[in-house]
Amino acid sequence: MLDQLINQSSEFDSRKADHIAPAREFHFNSLAAIEPPAILGSLQSSPLMPDEHALRQLCTKLGPAVWGKGTSKSLPYDYVTTIPADLRSTAFNRHLQDANGSRWMVRGYGNKARAVLSGDYPGGANHDGDFENTQYLKAVHELVTASLPSFPEIRLVRPSVTPDDLNIKVMWKNVQTGTDEGGQYGIGVYIGNGETGSKKLSVLPCLQRTKCDNSIILDSENGLAMVHRGSLAAMRTQFKAAIGRMFQVGAELLDRMIAAEEEQIDDFEMVLGGLAIKHGWRDDISAAVMVGTEGKRTRAGIVNGVTWAAHTRIENPNEQVEMEMLGGSILVAPDTLFATAAKQCRREMAGL
């Protein structure tokens, strides 16, 4: 399956291009598409129409050109998207001249600008034409191939790669807990990355409950969650080292899950109601969480409910992972989380 993901990611890479230059050397045409500067000895790139994500980044990056260096203000997105394209282009081109010498990396995919990042963003194609997601996939492939003799049970769980994002869960080993509640668990790692500045490079401990195919991801300080700064080579080095460390953390996470199977939660329905309010769950998400508890009024029941809803009601891989991380955070949260959630639910019901 990793071979298929690598091929798919490589196909995406064939349509990608990065354009790095001082901000004032970019230009917006009458349709408000970005025209990258021509590089010596190369052909002029076709205009790139910013998608919503890139346009929001543009609004942020042009804020200092309007309000001064160091400001946290950005151009109002609603206004920018409401005015005619030619007026937007005129305004953007004027602001570019006040960009204070900043450098941009405009990431293109086909005729679309998918991101507008700082010029020192660590990324880009290597000598094989591989962008970051493909490079990380190949690193995982090497590690998995080398580990197969020692861990023949290695498997992937709901892997996904898009032109922008990577989400995979690698289960190294299956463990039988000896309890009727959990049954068998896979111990492994979650690996995620984004190429558009909205997602960190992450290597986090992960459990896979084979009974119901739930994934529990722990957003732990023992894991790796790196913003994209510094060199890509240094990030790859830390990435490979973190994968090995996460196996031990995953074993510790399993111990927490076994203990959670015996931890009864008072005011169970109120706690679920408070969590739904806090996290803004849709009605179908709340219903799926209740089903996923399997009638267990325990901490593990809540964790299983949340992670069941993640893969049965949510299609977007990034949003799935966020919900699975929520399950991990509930697993290790202090008891005050449940008391606070129940209190919030009561206040809501009382109209307070």
The tens digit of pLDDT for each residue in 311-349 reads 999 999 999 999 999 999 999 999 999 999 999 999 988
Same domain flag for 25 and 111 = yes
In a domain, 333, yes or no: yes
Same domain flag for 199 and 252 = yes
pLDDT category, 228, cuts 50, 70, 90?
Answer: low
pLDDT category, 286, cuts 50, 70, 90?
Answer: very high
Residues of the chain with pLDDT > 90, as a percent, come to: 62
Total domains present in the chain: 3
In a domain, 124, yes or no: no
In a domain, 190, yes or no: yes
Instruction: Work out the average pLDDT over 22-43.
Output: 83
Same domain flag for 151 and 249 = yes
The whole-number pLDDT of residue 40 equals 45
Same domain flag for 244 and 289 = no
Domain-ending residue, one of 73, 91, 118? 118
Q: 6-10, 14-18, 242-246: lowest mean pLDDT where?
A: 242-246
Domain-ending residue, one of 118, 146, 170? 118
Same domain flag for 97 and 152 = no
pLDDT category, 76, cuts 50, 70, 90?
Answer: very high
Same domain flag for 155 and 236 = yes
3-state secondary structure the chain: CHHHHHHHHHHHHCCEEEEEEEHHHCEECCCCCEECCCCCCCCCCCCEEECHHHHHHHHHHCHHHHHCCCCCCCCCHHHHHHCCHHHHHHHHHHHHCCCCCCEEEEEEECCEEEEEEECCCCCCCCCCCCCHHHHHHHHHHHHHHHHCCCCCCCEEEEEEECCCEEEEEEEEEEEECCCCCCCEEEEEEEEEEECCCCCCEEEEEEEEECCCCEEEECCCCCCEEECCCCCHHHHHHHHHHHHHHHHHHHHHHHHHHHHHCCCECCCHHHHHHHHHHHHCCCHHHHHHHHHHCCCCCEHHHHHHHHHHHHHHHCCCHHHHHHHHHHHHHHHHCCCHHHHHHHHHHHHHHCCC
Same domain flag for 205 and 280 = no
pLDDT at 222 over 70: no
Instruction: Work out the average pLDDT over 159-188.
Output: 83
Same domain flag for 252 and 332 = no
Same domain flag for 252 and 233 = yes
In a domain, 8, yes or no: no
In a domain, 48, yes or no: yes
Query: Which range of residues forms the domain containing residue 162?
Result: 132-258
Domain-ending residue, one of 215, 237, 258? 258
Same domain flag for 248 and 303 = no
In a domain, 6, yes or no: no
Same domain flag for 155 and 213 = yes
Same domain flag for 141 and 183 = yes
Q: What is the mean pLDDT of the chain?
A: 88
